Amino acid sequence: MPIRITGMNSGLDTETIISELVKAKSAKKDSLIKQQTKLQWKQDAWKELNTKVYALYSKTLSNMRFQSDYMKKTTKVGNSTAATVITGGNAVNGVQTLKIDKLATTGYLTGGELKKDGTKGSYNGKTKLSELGITEDTQVRLSANGKTTNIELNGDMTIDDFLSKAKAAGVNASFDTKNQRFFISAKDSGKTADFTLSAKNENGMDALNKLGLATTNEYAALCNVDKDGNYSAKNATELKSVIDAEVSNRVSQYASKVKSYQDADKKIKEIEEKYKDAPLPADKADLEADLKTKEDALETATEEEKETLKDGIKALKEQIADKEELDKYIQQKADAKTFITDANPGVDLETEPPVFVGSNFVARADGKEGFEATEALKETVKNEVLEEAAFALDVMTGKAPIAISGGATRIAGEDARIILNGATFTSNVNTFEINGLTITANAESEEFTLTTTEDTDGIYDMIKNFFKEYNELINEMDKLYGAESSKGYEPLTEEEKDAMSEKEIEKWEEKIKDSILRKDSTLSSVSSAMKTVMMQGVKMSDGTQMFLSDFGINTLGYFNSADFEKSAYHIDGDSDDTNTSGNADKLKTAIANNSEKVVEFFTTLSRDLYTKLGEMMKKTSFSSSFTLYDNLAMQEEYEDYEDKIAAQEQKITDFEDRYYKKFSAMETALAKLQSKESALSGLFGM
């Protein structure tokens, strides 16, 4: 706004005069702003109410439309300390016996305390392994989750480097600086998720000793070794089984890497072929930025522009998904290639299929998908495993030039075991899913009973919760529709607000907002439709017509109901309802005696109400999907007010400018007159 200095010659308060003249013109603008504000408040009120209706529609009603939703059962546990049970709808009613024989454990290796010069050390993650006495290059083997990894160790590595390699091999690993111990554990409980950390030779055992992690490996642990190093035939058989399993495990691991490489390569080529004319950008962030730009533009776009933008958004989302897939397969291929080339130095994966080289890898040489282990590979791997087992036995019996030291403690991962009705079940976790029951074992125990019955309370609570939500919604609708008139109240201008306190402004606006949907025709239609569905009852499969009253569910009547609660339903015998708690509980009786009829009635009633609300929330040219009110039309009307207000503001500006020009002309004329008078006075004074 320009700075104006007026009234210098006339002595008039021009600013005040023009301000008063403009007030009349500003009244129309203020009226438009008030109408727009009321429209905004109406939009807000509808948005809040629509959210509540949609919640009833999409959650509560949607979950009550099918008979399967009412298949609720409960199980009484004879020893609640030993087990907890979640009962599925398909569980068999009756009494069963259960014994918790064993809980699942997680494999855990607690390292011995690291020392320096006979006292507790002061090592940390940055400490080099050379400070622990590891100077020569060596290997230890870590097997976890079906994968065996050779971990290279040398003096330049740090404790953190070792932990990173251990984690990459499939375990949890940390170093406690306060207690100066390593802690290594399996990622999951159970026998199959367990891990082993072992040495292949003296150098490896020496390194594990210095890390405080040396223990006998899985092979030696199976053997009862006597003073001469002999072990029993029984354990020898078991040892062979473990060795065979390890051979199979390692062969399968090599095969899976080949398959992983081939699959990733195939997927990469498919995606690259799809985008051969317009390759995907190197950085996914570029696509996401473009997507955000288009989504932001969608909010202000015309209907014609929206269709184009939506197509672009759909295409970008597809490209982002493809980019994520491409990046994933590129990484998968790289990981597999690293494994394969480490095992097969010199192999060219781009020009020829990988073939068996040395003792660590095998694949089909004919280029076909799949894997075929050769007897030579099996024999080679078996010999490797036997060498490790023999070394472990030598360590145990003192035949090896190095012994286990360091005080590491090992807990093996074990499966949980329960006995249900005489049958034994095992699981790597303490939870079992058996014939509709989810059993969680909490403590080992003797045999106890599980008693499964129909959960009548569950069905009752579901119906009760539905009426609680329905009542709150229908009461709010009636209150909004029947609100007191706010005639004479209009949104306040800034000038009017300046003359009132914050509390006065709040009460004033609250009066208008409370009545913003008073006598609203759309609100009346929705409310009436819901009430009609609830009152009309349900035609049952046997041809009879049943109503809510048949289950002891009624309104309190016009004269007994509180204001705006005349359409609310109350359940006879409901202990939480002071109005009807003393009545006979027909609903619970019906559920106990004929639950099928109850389920049929309420699934049909829920489906009818769900369908009716769905019809009323269909997308139209005036409203969006799942919207009861004309939100699109309201938004268009709101934007029209913006244009009208802007036009009125321009008119006011033009009006002000016109008056300022007139007063300016008057001031100029007065200045000239005063100049002439001064000149004449000067002449007469001569």
The region, left, alpha or beta by phi > 0 then psi within -120 to 50, assigned to residue 99 is beta
Contact 205/402 with Cβ under 8 angstroms? yes
- State the average pLDDT over residues 531-545: 94
Give the number of other CB atoms < 10 A from CB of residue 149. Answer: 19
Residue 330 dihedral angles phi and psi, to the nearest 5°: -65, -45
- Nearby residues of 245 by Cβ (< 8 Å), 6 or more positions away: none
- Nearby residues of 112 by Cβ (< 8 Å), 6 or more positions away: 181, 212, 213, 405, 406, 407, 408
User: Could you tell me whether strands 416-420 and 423-427 are parallel, antiparallel, or unpaired per DSSP bridges?
Assistant: antiparallel
Can you give the length of the chain in residues? 686
Instruction: Assess whether pLDDT exceeds 90 at residue 360.
Output: no
pLDDT score, position 662: 73
pLDDT score, position 585: 93
The 3-state DSSP class for residue 115 equals strand
pLDDT score, position 186: 93
pLDDT score, position 376: 58
- State the average pLDDT over residues 317-340: 86
How do the domains of the chain map onto residue ranges? Answer: 1-36+630-686, 37-68+457-625, 85-104+416-453, 108-229+399-411, 252-354+365-370
pLDDT digit string, tens, across residues 462-516: 999 999 999 999 999 999 999 999 988 888 988 888 889 999 999 999 999 999 9
pLDDT score, position 653: 77
Residue type, 195: F
pLDDT-derived band at 341, boundaries 50, 70, 90: low
pLDDT score, position 361: 39
CB burial class (10 A; 0-12, 13-18, 19+) of residue 453? middle
Longest dimension (CA), the chain: 148
* 290-295 contact pairs (CB < 8 A, 24+): 290/316, 291/316, 291/317, 291/320
Ranked by mean pLDDT, the top range of 54-63, 248-257, 398-407 is 54-63
Distance of CA 545 to the CA centre of its chain: 44
pLDDT score, position 9: 53
Residue 431 pairs in a beta bridge with 440
Tokens of 564: 């705006």
Contact 64/606 with Cβ under 8 angstroms? yes
The 3-state DSSP class for residue 439 equals strand
pLDDT-derived band at 651, boundaries 50, 70, 90: confident
Structural element, H or E, at residue 590: helix 586-616
Identify the residue with better confidence: 362 or 105.
105
Cα of first residue to Cα of last residue in the chain, in angstroms, is 47
DSSP H stretches of helix in 299-374? 303-343
CA 254 – CA 260 distance, rounded (Å): 10
CA 301 – CA 308 distance, rounded (Å): 10
pLDDT-derived band at 251, boundaries 50, 70, 90: low
Place of tokens 């129909």: 454
**Shortest CA distance to 561 belongs to which of 573, 579, 537?**
579
Tokens of 293: 């730009």
Tokens of 239: 């040892």
CA 446 – CA 82 distance, rounded (Å): 9
Contact 15/671 with Cβ under 8 angstroms? no
The 3-state DSSP class for residue 411 equals strand
Tokens of 261: 């490489």
Tokens of 192: 């199959």
Q: How many CA atoms lie within 13 A of 220 on its CB side?
A: 23
Identify the residue with better confidence: 209 or 343.
209
Instruction: Assess whether pLDDT exceeds 50 at residue 355.
Output: no
The fraction of the chain above a pLDDT of 90, given in percent, is 40
